[in-house]
């Protein structure tokens, strides 16, 4: 069920309906948490961070990428860690440039 919600979030994101995508990613996250599925949680955090970036809510994006990093570190997902660090770098760069830090 978490994957299905995530896929719906991906579809809405591809259509440019980021607000609807966030709703499905949050559902995906809730299901993954309930199932204690850390990999699913990490994926949901990544998707939420990326979607909030598209919505230009960089503070919220950074928060979700930080959570993604924590999960990726816990499960020893080196690729996930790299993605999280890169997205955090980009997020902090935008926040600094717009004086939102």
pTM for the predicted model, two decimal places = 0.92
Distances (CA, A) of 58 to 17, 23, 37, 90, 96: 17, 18, 26, 9, 10
CB 50 within 8 A of CB 88: no
Portion of the chain with pLDDT greater than 70, in percent: 96
Q: Does 91 score more than 80 pLDDT?
A: yes
Is pLDDT above 60 for 94?
yes
pLDDT at 1 over 70: yes
22 has pLDDT over 60 = yes
Residues 64 and 45: beta-carbon distance below 8 Å:
yes
Q: Do 40 and 71 form a contact (C-beta atoms < 8 A)?
A: no
| Predicted pLDDT of residue 73 | 98
C-alpha dist (Å) from residue 74 to 1, 61, 67, 82:
23, 20, 11, 14
Q: Give the pLDDT band (50/70/90) at residue 99.
A: low
């Amino acid at each position: 069920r978490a994957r299905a919600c995530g896929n719906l979030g991906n579809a809405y994101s591809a259509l440019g309906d980021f607000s609807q995508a966030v709703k499905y990613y949050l559902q995906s996250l809730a299901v993954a948490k309930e199932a204690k599925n850390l990999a699913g949680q990490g994926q949901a955090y990544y998707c939420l961070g990326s979607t909030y970036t598209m919505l230009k809510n960089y503070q919220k994006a950074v928060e979700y990428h930080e959570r993604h990093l924590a999960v990726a570190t816990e499960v020893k997902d080196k690729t996930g860690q790299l993605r999280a660090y890169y997205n955090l770098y980009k997020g902090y760069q935008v926040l600094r440039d717009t004086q939102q830090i």
